[in-house]
Every structure is written in structure tokens, then in C-alpha cells.
Structure 1
Amino acid sequence: MRQQSDQRRELGAFLRSRRERITPDQVGLPHTGRRRTPGLRREEIALLAGMSATWYTYLEQGRDVRASYQVFDALASALRLDRHERGHLFRLAGHAPAAEAEEPEPLAVEVAAVPLLLQPHPAYIIGGNYDVLSRNQAADELFPHLTAAADRPANFARWVFLEPVARDVVVDWELEARGLLARLRTPAGRHPGDVRYTRLIDELKAGSPEVRAWWPQYEVQARHGGRKRLRRPGRGVVDFAYTAFHLAEQPEQTLVVYTECETEPGNRQRT
């Protein structure tokens, strides 16, 4: 019952965050006087989704009400959700396969060895909650102080937000940190009440004013590759490309591999 209540509150918070980011102009609604809250009113979203304002309000308040897949499909369209946000909405609403019982994430021995084989390229494997399950020496050098606590493994989200050196190493810290938090939100929504997520999020909120400010905004992303600028001792700022591979038997576990991007000799930054 507690887990269901937590999931309803998560659903309500997600709906509210998405409603508040849409302006009347975006959906072709006229301006009707001064607005006390950002974004659309509850009645306006309900109108766009073809449902009663009372029923929508109950959903946003986290009440114990049931709505069909078709209702949430209409809400997803009215809220202009992207593919990942739609999936998150349906999972919170109970219209997606239930997650398996939460247990410590297993990592096969042969999989744990993969980052070692990728040396000298920095590589690591993270679990759904960003626990670092395996990494090589190059990753340790690229991300200093990425260390385990006495009772738990190293955690990449904890490093980004709570380890002071991270703000020096990660050049575009705010952009990267916001993206990481949005990617953490997706698996956290699949595991409401799981202590691996709740304890981590509580710890991040307690130690980081940015997490306290950004978590209620309810941004959602999927894990992906990209580019990142990292500062290396004696070399200044180095551009990296990183690639994320989801493991076939444990899809929430991700192998991340970094490679330096080629730059012209005169264009390397020294910051």
C-alpha cells in the first residue's frame, strides 16, 4: 500500500510539472486575465485531454483513482510528452509491465571484466541508480575520488553532486549535472519505494542545493552517448566522446566508454 501511495504522489508531481511548463500560446489558448501559477491551469489540460477537470485534479493530487490507458494517452498528447516521458507516465500510471522485485544488482564476472579489457580508454559499468559496478584504471584517473563508501559501492551521481572535485573536472558542470539527474529520474520512477533509489535521492537532496531545486522540476531523459568536456591535470580541457551500451541481460546496467576527440594542435584548450 505504501508503494502504491508513493507512486500516486509521483504521478501527481509528474503531471503537475509537465502542466506548468506549457504556455497557453503553445496550445492555441487565449490569455484570460492574470495567472497565479506558471503554465496551464488544470481545467485547461483537462479540456485538451477530453476529460473532466475534477478527474484530472484527483490524478494530480495523488488520489486513489483509476484511469484507462486511453485517458493517459490523451493526457500524454495534451502535455506534449516526448517518447521517454510518455513511457514514464504510463509506468507511473500502472499501464506498463511491473518491475521485478528490487534486489542488489548482480554483475556477471565476465561482464565486470569488460572495462579492464578496454584500457586505456576510460570505461565503467553503472547500475540503474548509478552505482559503479565495475571500472578500469583510466576511469579512476579521469574521475578522481570516485570511491566507495563503507557500506555501498561508488556512485556516479553522488560523485557529480557531492564530490567537490567534480565541479572542476566536469567543465560544463550544470548542464551535465541536470542531464544526469533527469536520467536518474527514469529508473527511479520504475522502482518507487526501492531503498537503492530513495536513499540516494535523499542523500543528494540533503547535500546539494541544486538537487533540491531541480528534482521537483521532474525532467526525464534516457541514457545516451554524447560529448563531454573534462579537465585533466597537466593537459587542460579535453573533449571526449562517450558511448553508452545497455547490457542485454540487465538492461538497466550500462557500459560507458570514453574516447578523446581529435583536435587540431593549436586548438587544445588550456584552462
Structure 2
Amino acid sequence: MTTTAQETAPQPTRRGSAIRRNELAAFLRSRRERISPEQVGLPRGTRRRTPGLRREEVAQLSAVGVTWYTWLEQARDIQVSVQVLDALARTLMLDASERAHLFQLAGATDPTPAASCPSVTPALREMLRQLEPIPACIQNSRYDILAYNRTYGRLLTDLDALPPEDRNCMLLVHTNKEWQASVVHLEESQRLMAARLRASLAGHLGEPAWKMLLKRLESESPTFRENWERYEVVGNRSKTKEFLNAHVGHLRLEHTDLWLGPELGARMVTYTPVDEESRERLERLYAIAREATARA
């Protein structure tokens, strides 16, 4: 019996997929075995033989089924969502290169701004710089911080010290202790931001990056889950915000959104002082941020 070219053509693809699945399995095992239980807040115990974490521990920390994760390490032919890949990357403490490698092996596109590098033009970066000492950043409708000036980088926490995929205001206000301590009216801010995210979601239903963000928020923050279940919807508006900065103290700033296009997507967010005391303290914060950048 003669085999046609059409019948044999899919074979290289299947072989390539199998090789990639095996590489993915080996990569996950190697990263799992290098993380100690203490690094993720788990007790070591006295009967542990497995180096690093156990499969069931990775599954639990990533909020996926143990059987499913076991199949993944066995190179089974199963589908992996970007939400699960994101959770695994965080559980296994992957750096930017390792995270990109994980998504590539899984045949998926990482939808986070850290991976896709959305275009922030040199002109916009120059505008951010010229606004100093006024804190300013560029955000999208998902609250990802795409770019920021030096003053904003020290306003609520040290943004430079955070991985790019964690630079999201919604995540930070619900999971970052330093950020939370800097927001004077924290509970009100958390509730309003969840309501604004709900309003923005209507135009992005089903998009992987949005699903990934919501899954992470719901798994890491009971407060977000409670606010999200309220199903409140609020539009964007300017208002005076109060912050308690770790370096210069209390700040009263007017929040303004400057939209960068006809759609309510990317925007430049600015915080201008509402009194002379806040203005002087912003000047001091800018000096601190500038000095830190010079040292780096």
C-alpha cells in the first residue's frame, strides 16, 4: 500500500508537538524541584523525599487539579490556558526569560504587557519626564502600568523593584502591603476600582489577558472577590486622593485621566498637588526618586 504525501504531512507536526510537550514537562519538573517549601510558605516536614515541591503542592498553589498537573508533567496531550500558565509561572517563581520559555513551550502567547511590550512612544515617555515632579503614568483599561515617571515610581511603592507582570494597580491595591499602606481610604478605593474594572470589562469579554487578571485577583484577594460579587459599575472620574507616602508623608493630590485616543483605553494618569504642603512634599519625593535612579 502506497502512502500519499497528504497522509504523511501531519506527522512532523505531531512529532514536533510531542517533543515540545516533553520539553515542557522536563522544564516544569526542573523548576518545581529547585523551590523549597519554605519559599512558598509551606512546612518542610520530616518525611519529605522529593527535592523541592511536590506535584500536589504546585497544583494547590496554582489552583489547578492534581491529576491535570500530573498529566502536564507526564507530557500528556492536554490543552493549557494562559490563566493556568500564568499561575504556574508565579508559583514556580519564574523570571521574565523563564516565563517566556514556559509560554513558548506550551504554544501560547503571553498576553501580559510585560511580554507583549505595548508601544509607548518616545514622545509619551518624554511627556512623563517633563511632568516631574508631578507623578504620572500610562495605564490601559485593565490598570496595567505601561510606563511611569520617577515620582510615580516611588509614590505608593518602589515600582522598579516589582516584576513587570505585577505592575497592575488593581493587583497592587489588593495584594501589595506597601501599596495598601500608602492609600489613605483603602476600602473605598478597592471598591471603586473593582466597579470601574467591571465597567471596562464589558468591552473585553473573553480576552485572555482579562481572564488571567480576574482569575489571579479572585484567587489572591478575598476583598476583591467580595467587591466583585457586588456587581457595581462606576465610570472614570477625577477626584482628590490622599496618600501616605513612606518617604515624605501625607499627600493630597488631584487625580486626572488624560485619554490617549478616542476610545476609553490607554490613558495618562496624573496626580497634581492640591495644596502647597503637598507640592513641597512632591518636590522632595522627586529628589529622592532622582537620587535612587542615579545610584542604580
State the TM-score bracket (shorter-chain normalisation): 0.5 to 0.7
- Other-structure match for 2:188: 175
Distance 1:114 1:251, change over 3 A: farther
2:184–2:244 Cα contact (<8 Å) kept: yes
State the alpha-carbon separation in 1 of the partners of residues 203 and 277 from structure 2. Answer: 44
- Other-structure match for 1:214: 227
Equivalent of 1:142 in 143, 151, 155: 155
Distance 1:205 1:146, change over 3 A: farther
> C-alpha displacement at 1:224, in angstroms?
1.9
Distance 1:150 1:135, change over 3 A: closer
Distance 1:205 1:145, change over 3 A: farther
Which one-letter code corresponds to 2:177 in the other structure? P
Is 1:188 the equivalent of 2:201? yes
Q: CA RMSD in A?
A: 2.7
Aligned residues: percent identity? 26
State the alpha-carbon separation in 2 of the partners of residues 226 and 111 from structure 1. Answer: 23
Written as runs of structure 1 = structure 2, the 5 A alignment for 1:83-122 is 105-122=118-135
State the alpha-carbon separation in 1 of the partners of residues 249 and 153 from structure 2. Answer: 17
- Other-structure match for 2:215: 202
1:145–1:163 Cα contact (<8 Å) kept: no
Is 1:157 the equivalent of 2:170? yes
Residues paired across the two proteins, number: 165
Which one-letter code corresponds to 1:182 in the other structure? A
Which one-letter code corresponds to 1:238 in the other structure? L
1:146–1:159 Cα contact (<8 Å) kept: no
> C-alpha displacement at 1:111, in angstroms?
2.3
Distance 1:192 1:235, change over 3 A: same
Is 1:256 the equivalent of 2:269? yes
- Other-structure match for 2:243: 230
State the alpha-carbon separation in 1 of the partners of residues 224 and 256 from structure 2. Answer: 25
- SS of 1:229 mapped into structure 2: strand
Which one-letter code corresponds to 1:181 in the other structure? A
Which one-letter code corresponds to 2:204 in the other structure? H
- Other-structure match for 1:247: 260
- Other-structure match for 1:95: none
> C-alpha displacement at 1:116, in angstroms?
1.5
1:157–1:180 Cα contact (<8 Å) kept: yes
State the alpha-carbon separation in 1 of the partners of residues 120 and 149 from structure 2. Answer: 15
> C-alpha displacement at 1:259, in angstroms?
1.4
2:190–2:224 Cα contact (<8 Å) kept: no
Distance 1:146 1:182, change over 3 A: farther
Distance 1:225 1:263, change over 3 A: same
Distance 1:152 1:114, change over 3 A: same
Distance 1:232 1:127, change over 3 A: same
1:147–1:154 Cα contact (<8 Å) kept: no
Return 5+ residue gaps in structure 1 as ranges.
Answer: 1-102
**Further displaced range: 236-245 or 141-150:** 141-150
- Other-structure match for 1:48: none
- SS of 2:165 mapped into structure 1: coil
Distance 1:195 1:233, change over 3 A: same
State the alpha-carbon separation in 2 of the partners of residues 213 and 155 from structure 1. Answer: 19
Q: Decide which structure has greater helix share.
A: 2
Which one-letter code corresponds to 1:115 in the other structure? L
Distance 1:174 1:147, change over 3 A: farther
State the alpha-carbon separation in 2 of the partners of residues 185 and 221 from structure 1. Answer: 8
State the alpha-carbon separation in 1 of the partners of residues 182 and 164 from structure 2. Answer: 26
- Other-structure match for 1:124: 137
Which one-letter code corresponds to 2:228 in the other structure? W
State the alpha-carbon separation in 2 of the partners of residues 195 and 107 from structure 1. Answer: 21
TM-score between the two structures when normalised by the length of structure 1: 0.55
> C-alpha displacement at 1:232, in angstroms?
1.8
> C-alpha displacement at 1:108, in angstroms?
3.0
State the alpha-carbon separation in 2 of the partners of residues 243 and 174 from structure 1. Answer: 20
2:172–2:180 Cα contact (<8 Å) kept: no
> C-alpha displacement at 1:120, in angstroms?
0.9
TM-score between the two structures when normalised by the length of structure 2: 0.51
2:182–2:246 Cα contact (<8 Å) kept: no
Distance 1:211 1:157, change over 3 A: same
> C-alpha displacement at 1:148, in angstroms?
7.8
- CA deviations on 1:122-167 (whole Å, 9 max, x unpaired) are 0001011111111000001102133586573621111111111122
